[in-house]
Amino acid sequence: MIIDVHGHYTTAPRQLREWRARQIESAGRPFTEPLSISDDEIRETIENGQLRLQRDRGTDVALFSPTAGGMGHHFGDARTSIQWSRTVNDLVHRVCTMFPDNFIGVCQLPQSPGVSPTECIAELDRCVNELGFVGCNLNPDPTDGYWTDPPLTDHWWYGLYERMVELEVPAMVHVSMSCNPNFHGTGAHYLNGDTTAFMQFLLSDLFRDFPTLRFVLPHGGGAVPFHWGRYRGIAQDMGRPPLEELLLGNLYFDTCVYHQEGIDFLVKVMGAPNVVFASEMIGAVRGVDERTGRYFDDTKPYVDAVPGITEAEKRRIFQDNALEAYPRLQSRLGVAPA
């Protein structure tokens, strides 16, 4: 089975964007307008979008969440974020209910700058216990580009982590948009978020406090694989344990890298046990690579072509690592890791 852990509902009908714009405009005042999207409209966007590509590319199931770039946690206040998160999580749930063999939900959290992450627990509980979601996306920077909240390893986050451990759900560390003009949203802010989160983990004893807490670092982990020696050296100079011992039992790096050499290097440096298959298809990079004739986000052929990769390693990347990182998947899919 090929499990894609990184999918977003980027093709949602235009009514969602229009509703969101009106909600943002009303921030600070009650907004009670219902969102009206029909099942037929959802079916059309999925069948002509993610589902068609899933079938064309030979993958089986995708973990599906609201559009990361649309989380926009800096807009409005906590009430704005709660309403928006519930709305888009419910929409993703409708997709997963209509296509249960192809999509499994991952939720957006109602984060807001300066608001305790424990305020996200109610929505996490709802999505996991009522909607059957198996994970969440966690924004390390709810300001969307200015990084004023404490680092992910601060006790500020611990109440949320405790609940994640109790529910057996991991988080994909995923920033949203960038409203800082110095940082392009997908070309800089995304990769900075992945790299920054890793460095925060390196400097902390978070996983001693939460030994079963799991995170997925998307986009190949940003700069981490390329600078693995630098990070090993930083840890060594600080008297920290080896990174393999300190972090790699709790972190996975996804394959949203979009070129063969990058995937080759990712698997070589991080090792198959810490790489999890993902595509983020119909995401930030949507074009065809003129060098290969394939879409940049068609990532399965990259994994298949890694030099010297074994069938056992491919099984880990395509299936088993996802089942380990997202334990609730095992019962949903009726499959256990080897």
Q: Which residues are catalytic?
A: 280
Least Cα distance to 170 among 4, 312, 338, 5 occurs for 5
Residue 157 CB contacts under 8 Å (≥ 6 apart), including other chains: 117, 150
Least Cα distance to 139 among 89, 225, 70 occurs for 70
Cα 180 to Cα 185: distance, rounded to the nearest angstrom: 9
Q: From residue 15, how far is each of 18, 29, 91, 122 by CA, in Å?
A: 5, 21, 12, 26
Cα 175 to Cα 72: distance, rounded to the nearest angstrom: 9
Q: From residue 40, how far is each of 37, 87, 97 by CA, in Å?
A: 8, 18, 13
Max distance between CA atoms of the chain, in angstroms, equals 59
Residue 259 CB contacts under 8 Å (≥ 6 apart), including other chains: 289, 296, 302
